[in-house]
Amino acid sequence: MALMTGQQYKDSIRDMKVNLYIFGEKVENQLEHPITAPAIDAVALTYDLANDPDYQDRITAKSHITGDRVNYFTHLYQGPDDFSKRLDLMRDLARRHGMCAGARCVSGNIANGLDSVTFEMDKKLGTNYHERFRSYWERVQREDLSVGGYITDPKGDRSKRPGEQPNQDAYIRVVEEKKDGIVVRGAKVLISGASIAHEALVMPTRGLREDEKEYAVAFSIPTDTKGLTLLHQLPTPDFRRLTEGAKGMDFGNERYGVYNLCQIFFDDVFVPWDRVFMCGESEFTGSLVGRVSPTFRCVTSACKCGHRDLLLGGSAVIADYNGVGKAGHIREKLSEMSFESELSYGCLLGATQRGYVTGSGNFFPDPLYANVGKYQASKALWFCARMGVDMSGGLVMSMHTEKDMKHPVLGPLINKYFQANPDVSTEKRMKMMRLMEYLTGIGNILVAESSQGGAPTANQQLVVNAEMRKVIEEAKIRVLELAGIEG
Ligand SMILES: Cc1cc2nc3c(=O)[nH]c(=O)nc-3n(C[C@H](O)[C@H](O)[C@H](O)COP(=O)(O)OP(=O)(O)OC[C@H]3O[C@@H](n4cnc5c(N)ncnc54)[C@H](O)[C@@H]3O)c2cc1C
């Protein structure tokens, strides 16, 4: 089975016995839970699109390992074309789900790094990590698995190195080596899509020294392995999904949800040797982190460009629904959003052009442009979110619920007083506002308050422009004087 369907993916997740908790309660069926079900739909989309003849070329590639057509999320990058295709895919997928396919996104970048570093380890040390890793990844490709990418450790006191921490387990480590495998203890935090992935692919979060060998460990395990506890995080908008009576219009990104993010605790977990890809070789951790980081930075920034595309579209639609779609300052803001976003995407493509291929045949982007692209991606997203709030108006943080809209007394009042553009129903405006609330990341009134409270930016520009015109007249007189020009 080289390509699963979305339904097959869902069935396989249902069959897993993941030890997952949400809001203090054990989750028995992730497909029916209001927090995990939408995130599962977002990942299922990556399976369904791979089976869609019109989309297949964009999301699949011929594997150089199996020779079969595999999903791009399991494909190892062979050159710049491969990598830019992945970037385009990330951007396009984000436009489609407005969420995250983290359950299979981060790991591809770790796999690409491990494939190359294990090759070099074997060459230098005579180990057989590369063969192990290849045979593991071949299975991932053949079975079309979703693999979570586990890099981030809790890290304890940030000013101290792993071995200096009062909590010895602040970074994941090997506590025992056995004949048939190793035992690991610690935690990985903030892992995207962890509970809805079949497998976990774990690597160190930083370069390590000779005396930190116990932390130099990379391995894979099924997500329902004994000894693992997963705790799902609840960003603010997710709480609405747990509120009785809340539905549809109250959710923003109704279909695909907010995020799937977990903290994972490893309580002396056994990992058989055939799943261990590094165990004590601290000298190779620097190159592993140094290759995976820029690669992942490009990929995660590409999907942010997709999110900004949604912010751009949402801002344009809401401006239109508000009745000001044709205003000059709106058009300027949309153009500025696009500029900031493409600046980032251009850097990612630059990083791809300047990338390099290692001895194992794996492609990696240029670290400088990857990091510039990531930096700009973050700036652009915050900027576009601010513009999105600006164009939406204060309603973006003061919306009515679906229950209010359906209420016999409140409904007619809302309909009467919250219609703007006469061609657009109040309901449509509310739905789009709720999506903008999600896209702009508002979980607190401060962001909207700082933009709308006391009037949006165009009002300040009016005042500043009027004052500026006065100053400019005075300044014109001064420069004419300085240049010795009369009249
Ligand atoms: C939505 C989301 C999804 C994520 N998905 C994944 C995933 O799928 N897989 C994964 O592995 N990780 C994931 N992460 C984790 C992400 O990589 C980390 O959040 C990031 O690396 C920062 O680590 P931290 O959160 O521990 O913050 P910290 O490292 O504590 O950083 C907080 C601040 O402290 C500063 N700081 C930290 N250490 C030092 C120091 N020694 N000296 C000076 N300043 C310092 C930082 O610069 C920063 O300003 C995700 C995070 C988020 C928010």
DSSP per residue, 345-360: HHHHHHHHHT-EE-TT
Tell me what pLDDT residue 350 has.
97
1 in a structural domain: no
Pocket perturbation via mutation, ligand 1, pick of 104, 152, 233 by most ligand atoms within 8 A of CB: 152
Do residues 379 and 308 make contact, with C-beta atoms less than 8 angstroms apart?
A: no
Q: Pick from 52, 74, 194: which is nearest to 142 by CA?
A: 74
How many angstroms separate the alpha carbon of residue 36 from the centre of ligand 1? Answer: 23
The number of helices, as runs of H, and strands, as runs of E, in the chain is 15, 14
- Closest residue CA from atom 51 of ligand 1: 190
User: Could you read off the pLDDT of 284-342 as tens digits, one per residue?
Assistant: 999 999 999 999 999 999 999 999 999 999 999 999 999 999 999 999 999 999 999 99
240 in a structural domain: yes
340 in a structural domain: yes
Q: Using the 8-state DSSP alphabet, how is residue 76 labeled?
A: P
Q: Same domain, yes or no, for 417 and 465?
A: no
255 in a structural domain: yes
C-alpha 226/C-alpha 381 separation (Å) is 39
- Closest residue CA from atom 33 of ligand 1: 158
Do residues 254 and 432 make contact, with C-beta atoms less than 8 angstroms apart?
A: no
Q: Which pair of tokens denotes residue 128? A: 């057989």
Do residues 3 and 60 make contact, with C-beta atoms less than 8 angstroms apart?
A: yes
* Other C-beta atoms lying within 10 Å of the C-beta of residue 333: 24
Pairing, β 228-232 against β 20-22: parallel
Last residue of some domain: 252, 269, 288? 288
Tell me what pLDDT residue 139 has.
98
How many angstroms separate the alpha carbon of residue 204 from the centre of ligand 1? Answer: 13
Three-state SS at 320: helix
398 in a structural domain: yes
CATH assignment at residue 170: 2.40.110.10
Q: How many CA atoms lie within 13 A of 400 on its CB side?
A: 20
Tell me what pLDDT residue 443 has.
73
Three-state SS at 363: strand
Query: CA gyration radius for the chain?
Result: 26
Q: Same domain, yes or no, for 364 and 485?
A: no
Tell me what pLDDT residue 447 has.
66
How many angstroms separate the alpha carbon of residue 113 from the centre of ligand 1? Answer: 20
Q: Which atom of ligand 1 is nearest to the CA of 193?
A: 8
Q: At what angle do helices 367-392 and 328-353 cross, to 10 degrees?
A: 160
Q: Same domain, yes or no, for 56 and 152?
A: yes
Tell me the torsion sign for CA atoms 130, 302, 93, 189.
Answer: positive
Q: Same domain, yes or no, for 109 and 174?
A: yes
- Closest residue CA from atom 15 of ligand 1: 190
15 in a structural domain: yes
Tell me what pLDDT residue 238 has.
87
Q: Pocket residues for ligand 1 (CB within 6 Å)? A: 102, 106, 149-152, 155, 158-159, 190-192, 261
Pocket perturbation via mutation, ligand 1, pick of 160, 192, 195, 262 by most ligand atoms within 8 A of CB: 192
146 in a structural domain: yes
Q: Same domain, yes or no, for 357 and 309?
A: yes
Q: Same domain, yes or no, for 184 and 225?
A: yes
Q: Same domain, yes or no, for 219 and 317?
A: no
How many angstroms separate the alpha carbon of residue 296 from the centre of ligand 1? Answer: 14
- Domain with 369 in it: 297-454
* Other C-beta atoms lying within 10 Å of the C-beta of residue 180: 9
How many angstroms separate the alpha carbon of residue 465 from the centre of ligand 1? Answer: 41
In the chain, the number of structural domains is: 3
How many angstroms separate the alpha carbon of residue 412 from the centre of ligand 1? Answer: 47
Q: Which pair of tokens denotes residue 105? A: 């996104």
Tell me what pLDDT residue 423 has.
96
Q: Using the 8-state DSSP alphabet, how is residue 157 labeled?
A: S
Q: Same domain, yes or no, for 390 and 477?
A: no
Sequential pLDDT tens for the chain (487 residues): 689 999 999 999 999 999 999 999 999 999 999 999 999 999 999 999 999 999 999 999 999 999 999 999 999 999 999 999 999 999 999 999 999 999 999 999 999 999 999 999 999 999 999 999 999 999 999 999 999 999 999 999 999 999 999 999 999 999 999 999 999 999 999 999 999 999 999 999 999 999 999 999 999 999 999 999 999 998 888 889 999 999 888 988 999 998 899 999 999 999 999 999 999 999 999 999 999 999 999 999 999 999 999 999 999 999 999 999 999 999 999 999 999 999 999 999 999 999 999 999 999 999 999 999 999 999 999 999 999 999 999 999 999 999 999 999 999 999 999 999 999 999 999 999 999 999 998 876 666 666 777 677 787 778 788 888 888 999 999 999 999 998 7
Residues recorded for the chain = 487
Tell me what pLDDT residue 446 has.
67
Q: How many CA atoms lie within 13 A of 71 on its CB side?
A: 35
Q: Same domain, yes or no, for 316 and 229?
A: no
Pocket perturbation via mutation, ligand 1, pick of 158, 196, 378 by most ligand atoms within 8 A of CB: 158
- Closest residue CA from atom 53 of ligand 1: 190
Q: Same domain, yes or no, for 322 and 425?
A: yes
Last residue of some domain: 240, 268, 288? 288
Q: Which atom of ligand 1 is nearest to the CA of 153?
A: 26
CATH assignment at residue 431: 1.20.140.10
Q: Which pair of tokens denotes residue 308? A: 């900004």
Q: Same domain, yes or no, for 49 and 141?
A: yes
Pocket perturbation via mutation, ligand 1, pick of 114, 190, 260 by most ligand atoms within 8 A of CB: 190
313 in a structural domain: yes
Q: Same domain, yes or no, for 48 and 190?
A: yes
- Closest residue CA from atom 18 of ligand 1: 152
How many angstroms separate the alpha carbon of residue 188 from the centre of ligand 1? Answer: 11
